[in-house]
Structure formats: structure tokens, C-alpha cells
């Protein structure tokens, strides 16, 4: 404990000594003159002479007393001056409330040793001395007041204001309870309710349930301090703070008016515990009692507790006066504090609010978590990932995969609670502590702000996958990939004769890494069509149940668990044994941490969080503070890790997936390898492996290709991919392109067409299109016919079946196109058709399109997509998004989601 130590007892002791010396001197003078009177009496002189001598002695005695009184007055003045000097520092740091200045409000920097609370005016005869009334801090006992004692109420306000000014900002928390007057008994302090650091509830509590919750929280904190922090070396709050100056605990005052109004049986029990144990733990109850109601037998135990442990203000203020006991003639009167002017008080409260806000800013940084790290940490025994510090300054870790730890984790918090920041803290700390060979990190982000982009460029060497703005379908493929990894490890462990990951690592065989899958906003997996949600649920369940044995761990993050549409979501959540809750509502807190555990509703966001590894029991709550993962520092850290991974011998393993961008068309060399001997490459499959979607140009009936959708970028990408693939797909003699859309294609189409050279022929007039020549050359020449905009060119739509052909009439363009589609594929000639609006030609070209068994759809509504895929009535969900397409082989019923290649226009 630091602060000014004002020794008022020394002043009073000096007063007592001065008075005692003064009285001794008076007695000495009296004794001396009594002897003089005796000598006069014995002289037996005449009456007249005796009277003269007596008169002379009386005069001398009076003069001696007057001189002695003057000496005593000077000594008293010395005592008063010494008192003024010794109390000056106290009054400088704790000026009288009426002396608060608007331009320089008092703001403490240290915990005080005493609290100044008014003064005592000491009197002796005509002399007086003003002695500050000081109370040792922290207060040793709770304070009990009577609600009908106005003086006590004023003193309670003065004490509260003194605590606000004498304790450093951020070192005091208030819990205010006023059930009858709804806060009006604390009217001077109501402007402080907006200061969260000072009044966490930000309101005066009035209802039974909220009073019970607040008292319960304080009781829990007292119990935690007694059981886990206080010991022989630090048996009290002040002693603990003296040994932990960097993480000092706040002093907490709970003011309760009109007790026992609105106090439930639990509240009474909590209040009794706080009265008995609170003061030594830095929790001070100040209780205003309704004396008449307290006579009820129901409150006998509380009365007994207060009688044994509490004191009133008279007892609190008696310390200074008690020191004057035993000194006859020394009297005193208590001088209460005068209340400051309102404008001065408002200035002080405004300055205090700003100081609390400044003090509450958490100053520790992310690299501070890494200072204890040494290189070469192993994941053989699990992950130990520091993520913050307790308010006492002790490190807090997320531990997964250890023998006595949990294996999977849930992280949740409302918008603005710091969830993304904590994910960054966890990822950076994990990668700083463990080598890339010890860890395979899978980052799957469904948040639109693309938080994980920072790990993509340059690639984070620990990451096997960085996926941002992911599709639910893609997430399912990642889960399926991990299940395959799990099954592969199961076979390997069986062959090796070990039971689990830890045992395998002890064998000294291959340095198998642990796997951590992080899914941000995982609820998106369950928000799509039922087929995707059911697959995600099944795969997640398998990984959660079996992953622990094979070194595969999962962290699921979300803003809220409410509204997640999964049949067994409660079963999934149960298997996430480690729960991390950030600031959220009471309902979410109970869902995240466990039933009736509402602690997360009281967190400040950011930087506070709660981690619980005790199945949600309140006793398992560990509150911690999270450092800021500042953007520039994170980018520098990823760059440093990536540079290390680029060193000789390091292996790059990161796969990047961005749902917001389509993949680039491969280089000619790569495309040549993909398309030989006779195929086209359209894009990347929507799978973890992201292998190319290859469409063989098999010589089979109806193996023509139909593309349908309305998105210029995807249209141009598919057209460019088709042209580029045809360049390497066997020995096509000619590529004939007809543009019926009336829109010049961009992207990579011009470059792909130019690369074909003289083999590429382009037409935009249907009359010039050499369909007859292509048809006549079936079997002798290989031609790729591309019809771009079938829906827009009515001349290519088959004539109605009721209109018979005239004798000798040449075949129409529609007839020739149908013949090419029907006869061409078996002899090496293929038709590729692009349709913008499916409804324009779905019915009219039904007979023609029956020869197109290979179909790709994109950016369509569900009904049109269902018609395109199945040829009948139905819906095909998920096709409307502009970042993917689906390929269907209607002959084999193969359905493959893919991301079409694109090529940006040259700048």
C-alpha cells in the first residue's frame, strides 16, 4: 500500500503532552504560592502588613500564570503548525471537497493509505486546532446506515466522492442499488453511469433479479480471490496489490439502499458473505437499512452478521477523536465535508470519465505473448496457445489435444466483441510457437470482410488452406478431405501398432503434424440447402468424435448460436469442450458457456473474454484480456514467417481459395498438359484439391456441350477456356465461331482466337455461316462449331413440327445445326452452344438440345437451372451466385461444381 501516511495521533499526543505540561506548570505555580502564603502566615506580622504581603503574592501568582499561559499558547501554536505541515501533503492529494477546482480536478496516481473525510476541531480553553479526520484505507469493515439519518446519508455521499477522487482512475468499481427511489438517492452521481469502467452495469439496479445477479458476481469474485490468489504472503486485497503492482485488483464498492427491499433469499446470503469477507478482498458494502423492516425474523441472520462485522459512520469517524480520550479539558466537534459546487463537480466527473477510458485501454501487445517462447516446440503432446492474460497478469492458454485437456473449441461473441481479433491472436501465436512441420492449419472463412486474406499473400507457411468468402459446398469438400486424412492416419496408426497421435509421435517415425481447422462464421455451413447442411453436419460430427485420436482438432467461431439450422447442433456443441465467450447477450452466454452461465453478458468488448474448460460451470470461468493484433504488425509477422518458409529445404504447402475471385486461365503449357489428347478444361473443381474440371471430347452420340447463364465475365471465361483447350485438344481442322449475341466477347477470347491462327473463323451473319459445308465434311474434317447466343438467333431454332418441308427446299440453318449436333460427335465434330437466357430457347429448341448431354450452368434462377439439368420440372439451388458454375453429364448423372477460368482484359 502506498500513499500519504498522515499521523494524526502524533498531533493529538503532542496536544495531550502540551496540556499535561501546562497543567503541571499550573500545579507547580499553585504549590509554590501555597508555600509563600504559609510563610506569610507564620511571620505573625500585623494585619495590615499581612494583607499587603498577600496582595503582593496574589499579583505575582497571577503574573506567573499569565506567563505560563503564554508559553502554553506558543506550544499549542507549534503543535498546530506541525499538524498543518504534516497534513499538508494529505490535503494536497485529497483536498477538501469544497476546494475542488474546475480547472484542475483532483486525480490520484496512487492507492492512498488514508481517506480524508472532513475534520475534527479540537478545543482547549480558548485554543483550537483543526485536525483532518482520516480513515485507514482500505476500510476494514462494511458500513451500515439508517435510512432516516440524513447526516449519515450526506456522509455516505462524501465518502463515495472521496473514494472517486482518492483512488487512481480505473481502480474503483461501483455497484449501485436503489430499488425504491430508482436511483434518486444517488442523484449527484448519476452522470457516472455512462462510464462503463466505473459502473459496469451502467445503471442503478432496482429489480430483484438483477440485484441478485450483481451480488452473486461479487460473491464469486470474493470466493475466487480467497481460494486462488490470497495466501500467507498476501492475505488481503491491499497485500495482494502490493505484490502484483502491474495487475492490481480494483476496489469495489456496493451501495445498497432500503435494505432489505428487493433482496431475495439468495441475495441475503450473498450480502452476508460480502459483509463477512468482502472488506479484506477489496469489496466494501455500504448498506442503508430500513430499521423497521429489519426487525422481521426473516432477516435475523443478516442482522447478526451486521452486528458482528459492520460499523456505522460514528464508529468510522471516531478514530481521530478516540486518540483524545483521557485528556481532561480537551473537547472536539466533527466538521463534515462541504459539498462542492455543481459546475466543479461536473468538471471532475468529466475528467474522471476520460481518465477511466484512458486507463482501461489495454496496453499489452501481441508480441508480449511470445516472450517466453523457445524454438522447437512440439505438438506431440497437444497445442498450448497463449491467447491473453488474466486481470492478475497470469498467461491464459487455449490447450487442445493434451492428455488432460479438451480437443475442440467454440469461440463466439457479438459484433464488435473482438472475435476476429482473437482469431488473429490465436493464429499468430500458434505459428510463432510451432514450426510449420508441426502444424497443418486450415483456415476457412465465411465472413464477408475476408479476415483471413492476410494469410494468403504471402502464404502463411503453416497453413494447408487459406479460404476466404468460401462457399458452403467448398466447406463440405474441406471437411471431406479431413475425414479422408483421418481415415488415412487411422490405417497408418494401425499398421504401426499405436493407439493415437501422441503414441505415434513417440515412435520417432515421420514428423506427422497436428491439424487445426478454424472455421469463422461456421453457421453458414448450415444455412444452405439441406443436402449441404446434412453433409456438413455428418462430416463435422465424425471429425469431432474421432479427430482427437488422430491429431485433428477443430475451432468453430460464430457471432451467435441462435438460429443455426442443424438437427444435432446441440450434440456438435457438446463436443466442443473448450468454450471461449466474448461480450454477448445473456441468452448467447448461456448457449456458449453453459446453462445459467451468463458471465459473458458482463464482459467489456474488447478486450475481455472468458474461457471455460469445465463444461460451462461458473467456477470454470477464467476471465482474460486479449491483446490487439494490429494489422501492420500482423502483415510483418506473416512476411517474416513466409521468408523463413522460403529458405532452402522448406516446403510450400499452402492452398489459397478465394470465393470472391475466379481462377485465372492456366498458361498455354499447363493447358496443353490438361487438354491432351482430346479434352477441354473449363475451370477448377469446387473441392479442396481444386483439380481441373476436364471434359473429354469423346466420340459418342450427343456429346455436345451446352453452356447457359447470364454473366459476361463467366461467359467470356468459358468461351476463352473452350477456344484455348481446342487449340491443344487433338487435330481440329477448323474452329467456326458464330456470334449471335451481338456483344463482342472480351476477357481472354481475342487472345485465344488469335492463338488458333488460320483455323479460327468468326461470323456474325447467319447467312454467311457455312453450316452446309461443315455438315458435308462430317467424317472427313474435324470441326468445332461454337454457337454463341442460340437464344437470340431465331434462325437456328427448329421449325414447328406441324410445318412440313416443301419438296426441293434446301435444309434450313436450324436443320443443319440439328444434323451437326446429332451426327457430328461420333465422327469428331462437336457443337458448343452458349445460351444467355434459357427460357427463350428451352422449349423451342427442345429437340435440338436433346443432343447436348454435356451441360454447364451458371448465374441462373433455380427453376431454369432445374430445367436445364434434368430437362423437366425441378429446382437446382445454389447456381445463382456469380462465383461458380455446375457441370452436368446427363448420360452418367455426374454433377460437378466448379469455378470457371477467366482471363482479365489487358490493361
Q: What is this structure's pTM? A: 0.70
| Widest CA span in the chain | 184
Among residues 588, 628, 601, which one has the least CA distance to residue 387?
628
Backbone angles phi, psi at 191, to 5 degrees: -70, -15
What pLDDT shows up at residue 714? 95
Q: Sign of dihedral through CA atoms 263, 267, 272, 274? A: negative
Give the closest residue to 278 by CA, choosing from 247, 256, 246: 256
Going by C-alpha positions, the residue among 834, 892, 891, 843 that lies closest to residue 864 is 843
Burial class (CB in 10 A: 0-12, 13-18, 19+), 43: exposed
Residue 900's nearest CA partner among 683, 755, 696 is 683
pLDDT for 598 equals 87
Question: Which residues is 830 bridged to in the sheet?
Answer: 784
Q: What is the DSSP string of 428-466?
A: HHHHHHB-GGGEEEEEEE--TT-GGGGGBTTBPTTEEEE
Give the pLDDT confidence score for residue 683 in this predicted structure: 96
d(CA 259, CA 277): 19
pLDDT tens figures, 508-548: 888 899 999 999 999 888 876 777 888 999 999 999 999 99
3-state helix, strand, coil in the chain (%, to 5): 45, 20, 35
Residues 6+ apart with CB under 8 A from 637: 428, 432
Under 8 Å between Cβ of 518 and 442: yes
- CA gap 572, 566 in Å, rounded: 9
Residue 188: closest CA among 156, 214, 215? 156
Q: What distance in Å separates the CA atoms of residue 423 and residue 606, rounded to the nearest whole number?
A: 13
Residue in the block written with cell 501492420: 632
Residues 568, 561: Cα–Cα separation, whole Å: 13
Distance CA 146, CA 106 (A): 30
Residue 635: alpha-carbon gap to chain centroid? 20
State residue 907's pLDDT score. Answer: 38
Give the Cα separation of 671 and 900 in Å (integer): 14
Q: Which of 899, 852, 564 is nearest to 714 (CA)?
A: 899
Per-residue pLDDT of 117-143, as tens digits, reads: 888 888 888 898 888 888 889 999 999
Q: Going by C-beta distance under 8 Å and a sequence separation of 6 or more, which residues neighbour residue 346? A: 191
Q: Which of 396, 394, 395, 355 is nearest to 240 (CA)?
A: 394
Q: How far apart are CA 460 and CA 457, in angstroms?
A: 8
Could you tell me if 683 and 491 are in contact, meaning their C-beta atoms sit under 8 angstroms apart? no
Q: Please, are residues 722 and 716 in contact by the beta-carbon 8 Å criterion?
A: no
CB-based contact 445:521 (threshold 8 Å): yes
- Nearest in space to 183 (alpha carbons), one of 195, 170, 192: 192
Count of CA atoms in the C-beta half-sphere (13 A) of 611: 23
Radius of gyration (C-alpha) of the chain in whole angstroms? 44
- β-strand partners of 684: 692, 899
In this prediction, residue 544 carries a pLDDT of 95
Q: How far apart are CA 856 and CA 863, in angstroms?
A: 15
Sign of the four-CA dihedral 316, 322, 121, 83:
negative
- 820's enclosing H/E stretch is helix 813-823
Spatial distance between the Cα atoms of 643 and 659, rounded to a whole number of angstroms: 26
pLDDT at 906: 45
Give just the sign of the alpha carbon dihedral 485, 491, 495, 497: positive
Q: b/e map of 67-82 (b: 16 or more CB within 10 Å)?
A: ebbeebeebbeebbee
Helix axes 419-433, 631-645, angle to 10 degrees: 30
DSSP letters for 656-692: EEETTSPPBPPPHHHHHHHHTTTEEEEEEESSSS--E
DSSP 311: B
Q: β-pairing, 885-889 with 679-685? A: unpaired
Q: Which residues have C-beta within 8 Å of that of residue 45, sequence separation ≥ 6?
A: 53
From the list 551, 537, 557, 573, the residue with the least C-alpha distance to 504 is 551
| Averaged pLDDT, groups of 10, the chain, 907 residues long | 60 86 88 78 60 79 89 91 83 86 80 88 88 88 88 90 91 94 92 90 94 94 88 88 82 95 95 95 94 92 93 75 61 87 90 84 86 86 94 88 93 92 96 94 84 90 91 90 96 94 90 95 81 88 95 94 71 89 91 87 86 84 91 92 73 83 91 89 93 93 95 95 92 94 92 94 95 94 96 90 67 94 95 94 91 94 84 70 90 91 66
Element (H, E) at 143: strand 143-146
Half-sphere exposure of 64 (CA within 13 A, CB side): 15
User: What sign does the CA torsion over 198, 201, 204, 209 have?
Assistant: negative
Question: In sequence order, what are the residues at sequence separation of 6 or more whose Cβ sits closer than 8 angstroms to the Cβ of residue 324?
Answer: 12, 15, 16, 122, 330, 332
Phi, psi of 500 (to 5 degrees): -155, -175
| Under 8 Å between Cβ of 116 and 134 | yes
Separation of alpha carbons 409 and 580, rounded Å: 7
The 8-class DSSP code of residue 564 comes to -
CA distance 59 to 137: 54
The cell numbers describing 249, all together, are 485488483
- How many residues are present in the chain? 907
- Angle formed at CA 149 by CA 145 and CA 154, multiple of 5 degrees: 80
Sheet holding 331-335, edge to edge: 127-136, 114-124, 331-335
Question: With contact defined as beta carbons under 8 Å apart, do 675 and 728 qualify?
Answer: yes
Taking a C-beta distance cutoff of 8 angstroms, is the pair 897, 686 a contact? yes
Q: Cell numbers 472480351 label which residue?
A: 746
**Burial profile 311-329: b = 16 or more Cβ within 10 angstroms, e = fewer:** bbbeebbbbbbebbeebee
Closest CA to 427 of 363, 369, 485: 369
Q: Measured between alpha carbons, how far is 852 from 891 in angstroms, rounded to an integer?
A: 10
Amino acid at each position: 500500500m502506498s500513499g500519504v501516511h498522515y499521523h494524526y495521533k502524533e498531533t493529538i499526543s503532542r496536544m495531550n503532552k502540551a496540556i499535561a505540561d501546562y497543567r503541571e506548570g499550573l500545579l507547580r505555580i499553585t504549590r509554590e504560592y501555597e508555600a509563600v502564603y504559609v510563610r506569610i502566615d507564620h511571620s505573625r506580622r500585623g494585619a495590615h502588613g499581612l494583607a499587603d504581603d498577600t496582595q503582593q503574592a496574589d499579583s505575582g501568582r497571577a503574573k506567573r500564570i499569565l506567563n505560563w499561559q503564554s508559553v502554553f499558547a506558543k506550544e499549542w501554536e507549534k503543535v498546530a503548525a506541525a499538524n498543518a505541515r504534516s497534513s499538508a501533503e494529505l490535503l494536497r492529494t485529497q483536498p477538501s471537497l469544497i476546494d475542488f477546482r474546475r480547472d484542475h480536478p483532483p486525480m490520484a496516481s496512487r492507492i492512498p493509505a488514508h481517506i480524508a473525510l472532513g475534520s475534527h476541531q479540537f478545543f482547549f480553553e480558548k485554543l483550537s486546532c483543526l485536525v483532518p479526520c482520516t480513515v485507514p484505507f482500505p476500510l476494514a469493515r462494511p458500513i451500515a446506515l439508517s435510512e432516516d439519518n440524513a447526516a449519515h446519508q450526506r456522509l455516505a455521499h462524501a465518502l463515495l466522492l472521496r473514494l472517486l477522487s482518492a483512488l487512481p482512475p480505473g481502480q474503483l468499481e461501483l455497484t449501485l442499488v436503489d430499488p425504491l427511489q430508482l436511483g434518486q438517492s444517488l442523484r449527484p452521481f448519476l452522470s457516472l453511469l455512462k462510464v462503463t469502467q466505473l459502473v459496469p452495469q451502467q445503471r442503478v439496479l432496482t429489480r430483484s433479479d438483477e440485484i441478485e445477479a450483481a451480488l452473486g458476481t461479487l460473491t464469486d469474485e470474493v470466493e475466487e480471490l480467497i481460494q486462488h490468489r490470497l495466501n500467507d504472503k498476501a492475505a488481503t486485497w491491499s497485500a495482494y496489490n502490493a505484490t502484483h503492482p502491474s495487475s492490481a485488483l480494483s476496489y469495489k464498492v456496493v451501495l445498497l439502499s432500503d435494505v432489505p427491499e428487493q433482496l431475495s433469499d439468495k441475495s441475503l446470503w450473498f450480502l452476508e458473505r460480502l459483509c463477512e469477507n468482502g472488506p479484506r478482498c477489496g469489496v466494501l458494502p455500504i448498506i442503508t437499512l430500513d430499521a423497521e423492516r429489519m426487525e422481521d425474523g426473516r432477516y435475523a441472520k443478516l442482522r447478526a452478521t451486521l452486528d458482528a462485522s459492520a460499523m456505522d459512520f460514528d464508529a468510522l469517524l471516531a478514530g481521530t477523536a478516540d486518540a483524545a480520550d483521557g485528556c481532561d479539558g480537551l473537547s472536539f466537534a466533527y466538521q463534515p465535508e462541504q459539498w462542492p459546487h455543481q459546475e466543479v463537480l461536473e468538471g471532475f466527473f468529466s475528467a474522471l470519465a476520460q481518465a477511466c477510458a484512458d486507463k482501461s485501454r489495454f496496453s499489452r501487445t501481441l508480441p508480449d505473448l511470445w516472450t517466453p517462447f523457445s524454438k522447437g516446440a512440439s505438438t506431440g503432446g497437444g497445442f498450448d496457445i497463449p491467447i491473453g492474460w488474466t486481470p492478475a497478469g497470469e498467461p491464459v492458454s487455449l490447450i487442445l489435444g493434451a492428455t488432460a485437456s479438451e480437443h475442440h473449441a467454440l469461440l463466439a461473441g457479438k459484433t464488435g466483441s473482438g472475435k476476429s481479433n482473437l482469431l488473429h491472436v490465436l493464429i499468430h501465436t500458434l505459428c510463432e510457437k510451432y514450426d510449420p512441420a508441426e502444424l497443418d492449419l486450415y483456415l476457412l472463412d465465411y465472413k464477408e470482410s475476408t479476415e483471413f486474406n492476410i494469410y494468403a499473400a504471402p502464404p502463411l507457411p503453416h497453413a494447408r488452406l487459406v479460404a476466404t468468402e468460401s462457399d458452403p459446398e467448398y466447406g463440405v469438400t474441406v471437411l471431406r478431405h479431413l475425414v479422408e486424412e483421418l481415415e488415412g492416419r487411422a490405417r497408418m496408426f494401425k499398421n504401426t501398432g499405436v493407439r493415437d497421435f501422441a503414441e505415434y509421435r513417440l515412435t520417432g517415425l515421420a514428423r506427422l503434424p497436428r491439424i487445426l481447422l478454424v472455421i469463422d462464421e461456421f453457421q453458414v455451413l448450415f444455412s444452405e440447402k439441406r443436402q449441404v447442411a446434412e453433409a456438413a453436419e455428418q462430416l463435422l460430427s465424425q471429425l469431432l468424435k474421432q479427430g482427437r485420436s488422430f491429431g485433428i482438432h477443430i475451432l468453430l467461431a460464430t457471432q451467435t448460436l441462435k438460429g443455426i439450422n442443424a438437427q444435432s447442433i446441440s450434440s456438435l456443441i457438446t463436443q466442443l469442450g473448450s468454450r471461449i465467450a466474448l461480450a454477448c447477450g445473456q441468452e448467447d452466454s448461456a448457449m456458449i458457456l453453459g446453462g445459467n452461465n451468463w458471465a459473458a453478458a458482463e464482459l467489456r468488448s474488447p478486450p475481455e473474454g472468458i474461457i471455460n474448460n469445465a463444461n460451462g460451470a461458473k467456477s470454470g470461468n477464467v476471465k482474460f484480456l486479449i491483446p490487439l493484433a494490429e494489422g501492420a504488425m500482423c502483415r510483418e509477422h506473416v512476411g517474416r514467417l513466409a521468408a523463413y518458409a522460403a529458405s532452402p529445404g522448406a516446403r510450400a504447402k499452402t492452398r489459397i481459395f478465394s470465393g470472391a475471385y475466379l481462377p485465372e486461365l492456366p498458361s498455354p503449357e499447363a493447358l496443353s498438359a490438361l487438354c491432351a489428347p482430346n479434352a477441354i478444361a473449363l475451370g477448377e473443381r469446387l473441392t479442396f484439391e481444386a483439380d481441373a474440371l476436364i471434359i473429354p471430347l469423346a466420340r459418342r452420340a450427343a456429346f455436345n456441350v451446352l453452356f447457359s447463364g447470364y454473366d459476361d465475365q463467366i461467359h467470356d471465361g468459358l468461351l476463352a477456356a473452350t477456344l484455348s483447350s481446342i487449340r491443344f485438344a487433338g487435330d481440329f481442322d477448323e474452329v467456326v465461331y458464330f456470334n449471335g449475341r451481338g456483344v463482342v466477347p472480351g476477357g481472354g477470347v481475342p487472345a485465344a482466337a488469335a492463338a488458333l491462327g488460320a483455323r479460327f473463323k468468326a461470323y456474325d451473319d447467319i447467312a454467311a455461316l457455312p453450316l452446309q459445308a461443315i455438315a458435308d465434311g462430317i467424317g472427313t474434317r474435324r470441326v468445332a462449331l461454337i454457337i454463341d447466343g442460340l437464344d437470340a438467333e431465331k434462325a437456328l431454332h427448329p421449325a414447328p413440327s406441324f410445318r412440313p418441308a416443301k419438296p426441293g427446299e434446301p435444309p434450313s440453318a436450324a436443320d443443319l445445326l440439328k444434323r451437326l449436333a446429332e451426327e457430328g460427335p461420333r465422327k469428331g465434330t462437336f457443337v458448343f452452344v452458349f445460351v444467355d437466357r434459357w427460357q427463350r430457347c428451352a422449349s423451342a429448341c427442345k429437340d435440338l438440345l436433346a443432343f447436348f448431354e454435356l451441360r454447364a450452368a451458371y448465374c441462373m434462377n433455380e427453376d431454369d437451372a432445374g430445367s436445364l439439368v434434368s430437362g423437366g420440372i425441378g429446382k437446382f439451388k445454389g447456381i445463382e451466385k456469380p462465383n461458380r458454375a455446375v457441370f452436368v453429364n446427363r448420360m452418367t448423372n455426374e454433377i460437378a461444381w466448379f469455378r470457371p477460368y477467366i482471363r482479365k482484359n489487358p490493361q
